[in-house]
Structures are given as C-alpha cells and as structure tokens.
Structure 1
Amino acid sequence: MRSTLLAAAAAAALLTAAPAAAQMPAPVAPVPSPAQLQWQRMEFTAFVHFGPNAFTGAEWGSGLEKPAIFDPKALDARQWARTFKAAGMKGVIVTAKHHDGFCLWPTKESTHTVAASPWRGGKGDLLRELSDAAKAEGLEFGVYLSPWDRNHPQYGTPGYNDVFVRMLEDVLSNYGEIFEVWFDGANGEGPNGKRQVYDWPRFHEVVRRLQPNAVIFSDAGPGIRWIGNERGEAPITNWANFDRDRYLPGTPLSMDLPEGSALGRFYVPGECDVSIRPGWFWRASENARVKSPRRLLDLYEASVGRNCTLLLNVPPDDRGLIHENDVKALTGMRTLVDRVYSTSLVPAGATATASSTLGGETDGFRAARVLDADLDSWWAPAGEARTGSLTVALGAPVTFDRVRLQEYVALGQRVSLFEIEAEVDGRWQRIATGTTIGHTRIVATAVTTTSRVRVTIHDARGVPMIASVSLHDTSRGRDVVPADAVAH
C-alpha cells in the first residue's frame, strides 16, 4: 500500500507542478525512487545506540557481557520519541543489534538478548516499544543490525549468514513499516580472529522483499551512502549520483564516497552520521561533553545544507532515558534552526524575474515559483538551456548571511556551477560561488545588505530546475540560546 501511495504521490507532484502550456524537462538520469525522494525531504533523523554498553561504558562490546547487566529500570521509549519530535527529527533508527551481538528484541536466533535480561522480567521487547512510540509521535522507524556478532557461536562460518537472514526477517516482519535499514561493514576480530564473508545480495533481497519502501544504507548503498566520516559533515561539492557497484560495506575506498560523482550511474544520496556526545553509547563521564546548540546548528548546515540528511545519535542513559543535557542541547538546536531557517527573509511582496522561462512567464515554469513554499514547483530556463539567471527584487534592503538554494531533484540532480550576487550601490557584486546544489544547499556569505539578489546557473547536467531561493540570517539566533546552554 505504501509503495503505491509513494508512486502515486510522485506522479501527482509532477502533474500538479507542471504548467499546462509548458513542456516538462526531460529526466536526467539517474533519478531518485519515490522512497529516496521522501527520505531526502525528511532531512533530520535520530540514531539510537543502546544496549549493554550503556551499563559497561564500552564503545564496542566484547560479546562476553552477561545479559543480566541490561536493566534500564526507567526506560521510556515515549520520552525518546517525544524528545526527537520536539527537536524536529522525522524518524529514529535504533541499534537492534550492535557488534556485541546483544539483541534488543527476543529473537530465537540467539541467547544473547533482552529475553535473558532482568529488564521487564525477561518479557521486554525494545523494538516493539520504540516502534509503537515512534508511530504514536508521527515518526518513521528504522533499524540497524550489525552483521558482525562477537557473541554468536556461528559467526565466522557459512551458517551465520542463515542466522543473520532469519534475524532480518524477524525484525522486518514484526514492527510495521521500516523507513531505513542501516548496515555497516564491521567484520571480524582482527588479522587472527573470526571473519565472515557476508552475503550482501541475499541480505538486500530480504529487505526488498519484506520492506520494499525502505532505503538501505551502507558505504555502497544501494539506497543511500555513508558520507565518509563520522563528524556529520559533507563536502561542499556533493552529488547524489554514485557508482555504487564499485563498493561494498567496509570498502577500503572510503575516500571516494563523500562527493559522489557527476558521472555516477545510480542515485545514492549521502547521509551524515554523528553523535551528540564524543562516543556513540552513553557514559556518565560525557554528560558535560554534549555538543552545544550552536555546534549542532553548524552540523545541520554542514549536512542538510550540503545535499545530505543528518543522522544525529542521541544515546539513552542507563536509566533508559534521554539525558537532560541531551534534551537541553536538542531543544536549543531546534530553537536556533527555527529562528534561522523556518522562514525566509525574502518579504511577501518580493518579485522574481529570470533570464528566460520554459513555457513563458505567464503559463510556464516562471521565476516566481522559487519564492513559494512548494518544493514541487520550480523555475526552468527556456529551451534546452543549461544556464540562466534569477533575480529577486526584495522591495527594501534585507540583511542576511546565508542563502538557501534547492533543486527539484525528482527528475535528477543537475546544477554543477552557480554564482550568487547582490546589488550594492547600484552595482552587482559577487558574494558566493558554488558547485552542486541538490535537494538543499546552504551557502554562507559575508553579512550582506541589499534589495536585489541574483542567482546565476553557469553549468548543469540538463535544464536546471530551481525550486527555492531563500535568505537567512544566523544572528537571529544569537540572543535565543546562551553560549553556555550545554557544554562543548
């Protein structure tokens, strides 16, 4: 049902966005699936690393931990979900199984699970509680299953792939719609330890069969790719296009991953993963080292603002709650993002004109479309032009230091070179240049005051399709969140 709805929504968007008198620009391959497009528009999601490590203080568990150590006596998945929703996140991905092999649901495929713990009297199922909480708060639900398993006796043998497939089938069949399945390539105990040859085609087939609308994350995709670091920062040039068949999870070619490629044959947008704390799992010693709201805003700009989504890890503590310092930081971040980016400084009476317009300004893909709030409407230049310019007349001087540009990427990412100018004292002055735009590009400029802004597309892979041009001022948040709101 959801697959049909996604496809219908994508088709409807194309039809409603296209003026009757205008010729729709041809797709420029590769193009996103409806699920990929919906995923990109989520922009900001939560990662939850939780398990025995929250009680031992380890970053990577050994697999030798006694299940009895897992006993979060105040666990409240609704508190997690409410926190994430209040922060502006659109979904949550949980470590259903991390490298230590401990399973947060009572699978029959392992003895190292919540069923062997004292939590909920051995009757608990964290995936059930969190999936229900996410649904109640309107969040999408996703899962991370590490293929590495430092506890399971079959790891390192051909039979382990069968075990892992059955675990996947269990998780993907029993917890409702899954929006993302997260894999990494972690493998083995070192040069003399166990190593498993993972059957990735089989794993992917299970996901496609049971959750056809889920996007699959790994170094190689196939749905979305790692951005190549755990700092939460994408490169300034960032193509969703990618030659995914050159890579496998855990690839030694991770230097290739960040920028993608204008020549890439598949649409595989990037995801930026980073933790709100120094480590991925909660430790009491890091309670004073939670990233500040200002730092989280920087990460938002360096991920969402560079054609990626931001996957921010927020690990519950040993009580089973999101710690108050993390909540405070997320609240401050949401305040900053709202103050700076929820609305454009372009006034309601502003007008937009273009060097040319596909279909003409009356009935075509007119310039005014870049000023509405609809990402399914856009401006395109006339004919087969791969260049063109937009001029926004603000009516009165506006001061800003960020320009947000957005392409309509449903028919392919296109722009490869652009320039932004402001009219100052009657003369146009360049204030920024850039390469890719994609779903969203946030461009930092010097503090600029002007009544006219011009965006020029100098090169593109096809007819450029610009959905939005907006102006923003980061100083609008400086008096909202104190510098000491949370630590570093």
Structure 2
Amino acid sequence: MIHKKLSTYVTLLVSFLLLSGCSNKRPEIIQEKIPDEIRAQEMKDLRFGMFICWSFSTFSGTEWTGQELPPEFFRATECHTDQWAKTAKEAGMKYIYFLAKHHDGFCLWDTKTTDLKVTNAPLGKDVLAMLRKSCDKYGIKLGLYFSEGDWNWPGATRGKGGNSRDAGGSNPEVKKAQLKELLTQYGPIELIWFDHAVGDGGLSHKETTEWVHQFQPNCFVGYNHGEPSGRLCLREMGKPGQLGDANASQYNKEQESSHKGYLVAEFTYPILPPHEGGAMWFYSLPKHDQLCYPASKIFHDYQEAVKYGNIFSLNVGPDYQGKIRDIDVKTLQEVGKMIRESEQ
C-alpha cells in the first residue's frame, strides 16, 4: 500500500513538472474557498502594497492615451521587475498589484485575445510573467488592475470616459477570455482592482465577480465605482477610514455606505503629488523626477490604514526603461525603515 501511494505521488509530481515545463506559464490552479472572515483578515494583514502603472501612457505623457496606436508605441526595451519587488520588500509592502490593461487595450501579458500586447512591442517579453517570478523571489503577493472597458471594442468612443458602454464598448466574451488567462496562467491573484472609468465592457459587475470566483474564489474583487459588487471596497484617491465611511471615498461614496458585501476597504493615491502637465498615475515627465510625497506622509497613512483595518496601495510609475525612479526608491526605503522601527 505504501509503495502504491508513493507511486501515485510520483506520477502526479512528474505530471505536474511536465505540464510546468511545457510552457512559461503556470498550469491552471485549483483553490478551495477560504471562509470570508478568515480571508478578510488575511487581506487586512497585507496592510501596504505597491500599485504599478506602466503602459502606453508612460510614453504619451498623458493619463489617458485615446488615439489608436500600434504595440510598438510601447517603446521600452528593458524591464526591471526584480527592482519593483525588491523596493516593495524594503518598503514593508506585502503585495504589488499591476496594471494588466488600461483603457487603451494594450495588454502587459502574452494574451491570445489581441495582437495589441507587450510581446509584440520592442520589449518582446511577458511583463506579468516576469513580475510573478519577481514577486515569488521576494515573498510579495500579486494582484491586478484591469480596465473593464476597452476603446478597441465595438461601440467604444476613443478617449471617452463614463459609465455607459459607448465609452469603453461592449465585448463580454473577450473580457471573460482575458480574465480567464490572467486568473489561470499566473498563479494566485490576491485582489483585482477593476476600473469602471469607461464602462463595464458588456459584462455586469455581478457577472464579472462571479466569473473571477469561478477560477479563484479567494480573490478579493473591487470596483472603483458603478454597480457595487465584490468584497473589496475601493477608494481611488481616497483616504484611511472605517469601512462604510463614505467620507473616505471620492468616487465610491454611495456604494461604500450602502453595499453590505464589503469586508475590507482599500485606498490608493500616486506617490507623485499634484503637478502641471504630464501623467500622475503613470511616469510623468523627466522635469518632475524630483517630485515625490515625503516619507512622513506615506508612513502616517500607513499607520492610519493599520488603525482602521484598511489596505493602502501606493501608486508608483516606472520610467521609460521600466525602473522605479531613484527618488521613489529612496522615499520607500525611508518608509520601510519607519515601519520596522515602529514595530520593534
């Protein structure tokens, strides 16, 4: 009996290794659902993370890049995901969530749903796969940002925002296919930050949440506004505060005060303070390379996040060559030192 069990184990192990070796992507994962109260505490324990925005808007110098562009517009030839994960670790961060696709539809993973993807750009690499490896190397959890709408989809109006489907079009089957790739080929995804700025892409938030949980039931799903759904309350450009406090939200006030399904609140803002010209969530312009919120402010908001059981996602935009700016690295190292000293 022992030999039979051992033989079965070896067979399963060899099969897993063979499957893993056939592709750079991970085999599909199977999750058992963790009870909500336990999973919510796991999410609160993440406390502090890095939000990475790196895409077409890095190179356009604007927040939204509405014009139709080829993948070659993404001109980076280097990508330093190890630096991102190492910096997050030094800052006391426990997760990174990464912009997989913005409203312009450019995909930062090797999708089969479109040719508008990073593997067709000069970089020629699956950035999400690289980041997955870097996160595993430094013990960092992985989450994703995903624009629900896409200006390349039927019915979309390029550059237009708004909740209606004539902003980001309607293509529910492609939206589902892209999410399936992200949720089955890149390991466990802790949370997904859905951006509703250009509509829902033809798949309601209820349907989107159910689709995500079909593949990863423990993934915390949130939407920055629109139809309330999921367990994660998002506060884009928000602040720390007790769950249900509408004053802590900027775009999600009504949803936060009324939706009973939220278990944890997340707030996020860019490390770049307000400035004239250039982007804010993405790398701005070289003339802004010395602009950065002070470590003291970031540490204060971290402490408030812990106080209220929130998670705090600080946005950082890598530059043209995929590196986090020197001033951001230095500031985040200072924050990490403050966190370690406060916990001694």
Where on the TM-score scale, by shorter chain, does this alignment land: which range? 0.7 to 0.9
Aligned residue runs from structure 1 range 316-335, under 5 A:
316-335=318-337
Preserved contact between residue 90 and residue 140 of structure 1 (Cα < 8 Å): yes
Q: Which moved more, 1:157-166 or 1:280-289?
A: 157-166
Segment drifting more, 200-209 vs 65-74: 65-74
What does the per-residue CA deviation read over 1:392-428, in whole Å, with 9 as the maximum and x for residues that have no partner?
xxxxxxxxxxxxxxxxxxxxxxxxxxxxxxxxxxxxx
- Equivalence for 2:41: 37
Matched with 2:233 is 225
1:296 aligns with 298
1:105-124 to structure 2, matched below 5 A, reads 105-120=109-124, 124=125
Task: Please name the residue that 2:270 is paired with.
Answer: 275
**Where does 1:272-421 land on structure 2 (aligned, <5 Å)?**
272-278=267-273, 279-283=280-284, 284-339=286-341, 341-343=342-344
The change in CA–CA distance for 1:3 and 1:40 in structure 2 (over 3 A counts) is farther
**Residue 212 (structure 2) aligns with:** 207
Q: CA deviation at 1:115?
A: 2.8
Name the CA distance, whole Å, in 2 between partners of 1:328 and 1:226. Answer: 28
Equivalent pair of 1:63/1:151 in contact (CA under 8 Å) = no
Q: What runs of 5+ residues in structure 2 fail to find an aligned partner? A: 1-28, 157-164, 274-279
* Counterpart Cα distance in 1 of 2:71 and 2:101: 13
- 1:49-81 Cα deviation digits (max 9, x unpaired): 111111121111115233212132231111111
Root-mean-square deviation over aligned CA pairs: 2.7
Q: Is the 8 A contact 1:154 1:160 kept in 2?
A: no
Aligned pair 1:173/2:171, yes or no?
A: no
SS at match of 2:110: coil
Cα distance change, pair 140–322 in 1 and its aligned pair in 2 (3 A): same
Contact 1:2 1:213 in 2 (8 A): no
> Does the 8 A contact of 1:226 with 1:271 survive in 2?
yes
Tell me which amino acid in the other structure corresponds to 1:206.
W
More strand by share: 1
Aligned-pair CA distance for 1:210: 0.8
- Give how far 1:268 is off: 2.4
Cα distance 1:58–1:336, how it changes in 2: closer, same or farther (>3 A)?
same
Matched residues in 2 for 1:217 and 1:323: separation?
28
Helix, strand or coil at the partner of 2:171:
helix
1:234 to 231, 234, 240: 240
- Give distance in 1, aligned partners of 2:120 and 2:321: 18
TM-score by length of 1: 0.56
What CA distance in whole angstroms lies between the structure 1 residues aligned with 2:96 and 2:306?
16
What residue in structure 1 maps to residue 21 of structure 2? none
**CA apart distance, 1:295:** 1.6
The residue type equivalent to 1:112 in the other structure is L
> Cα gap change, 1:159/1:265 in structure 2, threshold over 3 Å: closer, same or farther?
closer
Label 1:332 to 1:253 Cα distance change in 2 as closer, same or farther (>3 A): closer
User: Aligned equivalents of 2:87 and 2:229: distance in 1?
Assistant: 29
Percent of aligned pairs with the same amino acid: 26
Q: Please state if 1:256 is matched with 2:260.
A: no
SS at match of 1:312: strand
Could you tell me how far 1:240 is from its partner in structure 2? 5.9
For CA contacts below 8 A with separation 6 or more, give which structure has more relative contact order.
Answer: 2
Q: Do 1:221 and 1:268's aligned partners in 2 also have CA atoms closer than 8 Å?
A: no
User: What amino acid sits opposite 1:166 in the alignment?
Assistant: A
Counterpart AA for 2:314? L
Deviation at 1:196, TM superposition (A): 4.9
1:215–1:241 Cα change, 3 Å? farther
Contact 1:63/1:149, CA 8 A, preserved across alignment = no
| Equivalent residue number for residue 54 of structure 2 | 50
Q: Is the 8 A contact 1:141 1:178 kept in 2?
A: yes
Distance 2:294 2:324 in 1: 16
Q: Deviations over 1:74-113 (max 9, x none)?
A: 3111111111111111111101001111100121222221
Paired AA for residue 171 in structure 1? L
Which residue does 2:129 correspond to in 1? 128
Instruction: Tell whether the 8 Å contact from 1:241 to 1:268 is kept in structure 2 after alignment.
Output: no
Is 1:61 the counterpart of 2:61? The answer is no
Q: Residue 280 of structure 1: CA displacement?
A: 0.3
Pair 202,73 (structure 1): closer, same or farther in 2 beyond 3 Å: same
The residue matched to 2:145 in structure 1 has which SS? Answer: strand
1:177-234 per-position Cα deviation (integer Å, ceiling 9, x unaligned): 111111121126xxxxxx954322322122101111111112434111023x504x12
Name the counterpart of 1:93. Answer: 97
The Cα of 1:43 is off from its aligned counterpart by 0.5
The one-character-per-residue Cα deviations of 1:247-290 (angstroms, maximum 9, x if unpaired) are xxxx99833356x47xx743422101111113100122321111
The alpha-carbon deviation at position 144 of structure 1 amounts to 1.2
- Does the 8 A contact of 2:209 with 2:229 survive in 1? no
CA distance in 2, matches of 1:96, 1:277: 21
TM-score after normalising by structure 2: 0.77
User: Secondary structure at the residue paired with 1:316?
Assistant: coil
Structure 1: gaps of 5 or more residues: 8-31, 189-194, 243-250, 344-488
Give the Cα separation in 1 of the matches to 2:208 and 2:254. 24
Quote the offset at 1:161 in angstroms: 0.9
Note if contact 2:149-2:170 (Cα within 8 Å) is conserved in structure 1.
no
Q: Which structure shows the higher helix fraction?
A: 2
4+ runs deviating over 4 angstroms: 1-7, 153-159
Q: CA contact under 8 A between 1:143 and 1:181: conserved in structure 2?
A: yes
